[in-house]
Structure 1
């Protein structure tokens, strides 16, 4: 198996969802700590076996790499896919199907990932490197700086209100993903969401993604 396919497989097997039973019931602020310890312990056991063959398994960012012990490994950041309205529509259709199937967590994760990919795409189009944190708020902050999305006294009040609304939407998307998506175990602060909440979340994220792509296509800032 090629290293990149191996990384995909290990990324799935080591995903937080695979340890949901072990993480369920923990306080929200302890989930990531416990999860990282579990992964660290598993890697240590695997490397104990690989040691006698002169190899080791390492995690570089989000990539799993099997290499010779001590070998320097450089992982090239993959170029983000081309993102257009057709891509946004395809994600929207899958997310709304998940809503219809009552898979609200997956729908929320897909919507949040859509915005993250759109922001990364916009940043790369300006020949800049996206934040590696995967933090939607930080990525949007980069987009705001690169595309001149800002509020000031010289800008029409209606535009300022629009920007303020976008800021709140981004914060809500990031917050909902942290507390309610399937990317995290069930913590103390997790709340139940309804069909209409998930549908609003998906449609809002899709509308915002399309707006951002339209802004990017304008080349110059419209604000």
Structure 2
């Protein structure tokens, strides 16, 4: 589904770009991001706004262009983050200020910047919470699959479904290794999940509360469903006679379900350690 750059984002860039970029560097920035057409006429604010609106009208994937446009601001080098001292006063880096503005406005528009120049609209509260939780943990496979799911949710939903399953598989394998548990012979999603859920006490039969039993039973069923979905419909396996018509909304369902479960597993794991 084609999504345009939201008006509030256009407003922030039209206000901020002119104070940071020259006419020449603005042209270079937009052309590097594959913005359509020649540079518009006018002042820097007029040029920026006109080009962003043209991207919305003419670009096949406006959010992909936006990701490339703001990549150098969202991933600024450490030296560009330092404050400047002018007449004894500390002045915050303009690029850093723009980055913080963009983070805030993207969040308000239910968008998220993903490293590498990508904009995702597949995030939800579980995804944002999971992203915060895995920061600082040395689990590169988890971060890679997290980003792959969000980057591909619209353009390649099959790829996103595959990543949604892989994030669970990666998490369960890390848990087994870190907790020195016996590795199952077959290390597919269902088998590593059995080991993890047993160690964390995710057994519906051990609970007295009927409502919690239902939730845990549903969680177990969700893992099975995500694994089956990857097998039958994602890019991880070849298709047979039946071709699944995967839509971005299907990919979001798989991603949000996987992220909710991963969040629950990590929080339970942390509590167990304490």
Of the three residues 167, 173, 182, the one matched with 2:226 is 173
Aligned residues: 137
**Does structure 1 residue 161 correspond to structure 2 residue 210?**
no
Alpha carbons 1:137, 1:171 under 8 Å: kept:
yes
| Large movers: runs of 4+ above 6 Å | none
| Counterpart Cα distance in 2 of 1:205 and 1:153 | 24
Tell me the equivalent position of 1:98. 152
**1:1-223 pair list within 5 angstroms:** 85-86=134-135, 91-101=145-155, 103-152=156-205, 154-219=207-272
For the 8 Å contact 1:111–1:201, the answer to whether it is kept is yes
Higher relative contact order (CA 8 A, sep 6+): 1
Question: Equivalents in 2 of 1:179, 1:186: separation in Å?
Answer: 7
Provide structure 2 residue ranges, at least 5 long, that are not aligned to the other structure. 1-132
Query: 1: CA distance between counterparts of 2:173 and 2:221?
Result: 19
Unaligned stretches of 5+ residues in structure 1: 1-83
CA contact (8 A) 1:126 1:146 kept: no
State which structure, 1 or 2, has the greater radius of gyration over its C-alpha atoms.
Answer: 2
Verify the 8 A CA contact 1:106 1:181 in the aligned structure 2.
Answer: yes
Partners of 2:176 and 2:195 within 8 A in 1:
yes
Change (3 A) 1:177 1:158: same
Q: CA-to-partner distance for each residue in 1:80-115, whole Å, 9 max, x for gaps? A: xxxx523656643431220122x1121111111110
In structure 2, the CA distance between the partners of 1:116 and 1:132, relative to structure 1 (3 Å rule), is farther
